[in-house]
């Protein structure tokens, strides 16, 4: 299995503080059946900005440590890039990691809203040959209030990533219900742990998948894992037509 959203590098953001903590996370990932992890440290975030070369160096160092310890796990470079108006210039100057050297970029919206220029950034990324994947939309307040806002972004050409912990109930029942409804409306396309540590932000990778299976969303599980693999292959996703979502009164009904 492939985890396409993780914070595994040390001392660069709100993930691990030491290399040993990073390695403990990676050992746990292997125990959970994960074979590949894309490292997506925060970039251009108000508090964190993991530099391009630091990401490259740490991923290489961790990969060597995994080899030394005979842990069957392959690491890939990436960033979780906060949406800002300087994003496109940064892409052009080569200071941002796409996901595993593919055409996909993990794009983080502010947690409270969707900026008015979001569509413009999506279009500009597409012109550059890069497809943005919106990170954890289920935890964006604007989308929670009006899920049709995510639908509009998907129709503009963006994709979206659902978080294992959200489906597993780690962020509360309301986020869990919204996550399931986003899956059922074909508004999410990839699946990541967004792991930060083993205590407050663990993997929960298998637990999130089991929740979907319990809800009989077997096709969704297959699609999400398939698309994660397509990132590494730099190939197109399986996509289903997004459903037009209705106001929150309807949306909140499970």
Q: Mean pLDDT throughout 131-152? A: 95
Average pLDDT over residues 249-254: 44
Exposed/middle/buried for 119, CB within 10 Å: 0-12, 13-18, 19+? Answer: middle
Over the stretch 74-98, which tens digit does the pLDDT of each residue have? 999 999 999 998 999 999 999 999 9
Tell the residue number behind the tokens 């990132």, with chain if given.
Answer: 231
Q: Which pTM value belongs to this model?
A: 0.93
Residue 249: pLDDT band (50, 70, 90) is: very low
Residue spans per domain, the chain: 2-251
Say if residues 108 and 80 touch (Cβ distance below 8 Å).
yes
Q: Kindly state the percentage of the chain with pLDDT values over 70.
A: 96
Whole-number pLDDT of residue 254:
38
The topology (CATH level 3) of 2-251 is TIM Barrel (3.20.20)
87-135 pLDDT, tens per residue? 999 999 999 999 999 999 999 999 989 999 999 999 999 999 999 999 9
Contacts of 172 (CB under 8 A, 6+ apart): none
Residue located via tokens 């690491």: 75
pLDDT at position 230 is: 97
Cα gap 161→164, rounded to integer Å: 10
Q: Which pLDDT band holds residue 241 (cuts at 50, 70, 90)?
A: confident
Query: In the structure, what pLDDT confidence band is assigned to residue 199 with cuts at 50, 70 and 90?
Result: confident
Mean per-residue pLDDT over the chain, rounded: 93
Q: What is the reported pLDDT for 250?
A: 44
Tokens of 159: 């994709």
Handedness of CA 66, 70, 74, 80 (dihedral sign): negative
The pLDDT of residue 244 is above 80: no
CB-based contacts of 141-145 (< 8 A; 24+ apart in sequence): 141/111, 141/112, 141/113, 142/109, 142/112, 142/113, 142/114, 143/114, 144/174, 144/175, 144/178, 145/248
Which tokens belong to 94? Answer: 């080569």
Q: Which of the four pLDDT bands, split at 50, 70 and 90, describes residue 217?
A: very high
């Amino acid at each position: 299995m492939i985890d396409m959203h993780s914070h595994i590098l040390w001392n660069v953001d709100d993930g691990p503080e030491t290399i040993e903590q990073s390695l403990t996370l990676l050992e746990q990932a292997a125990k959970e059946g994960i074979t590949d992890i894309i490292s997506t440290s925060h970039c251009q975030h108000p508090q964190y900005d993991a530099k391009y070369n630091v990401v490259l160096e740490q991923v290489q160092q961790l990969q060597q440590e995994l080899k030394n310890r005979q842990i069957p796990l392959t690491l890939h470079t990436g960033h979780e890039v906060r949406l800002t108006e300087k994003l496109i210039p940064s892409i052009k100057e080569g200071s941002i990691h796409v996901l595993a050297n593919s055409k996909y970029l993990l794009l983080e919206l502010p947690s409270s809203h969707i900026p008015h220029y979001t569509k413009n950034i999506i279009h500009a990324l597409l012109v550059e040959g890069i497809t943005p994947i919106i990170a954890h939309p289920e935890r964006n307040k604007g989308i929670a209030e009006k899920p049709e806002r995510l639908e509009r972004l998907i129709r503009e050409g963006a994709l979206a990533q659902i978080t294992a912990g959200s489906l597993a109930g780690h962020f509360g029942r309301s986020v869990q219900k919204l996550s399931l409804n986003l899956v059922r409306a074909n508004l999410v396309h990839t699946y990541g742990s967004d792991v930060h540590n083993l205590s407050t932000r663990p993997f929960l990778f298998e637990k999130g998948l089991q929740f979907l299976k319990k809800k009989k969303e077997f096709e969704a599980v297959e699609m999400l894992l398939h698309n994660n693999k397509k990132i590494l292959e730099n190939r197109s996703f399986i996509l289903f037509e997004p459903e037009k979502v209705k106001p929150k009164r309807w949306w909140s009904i499970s």
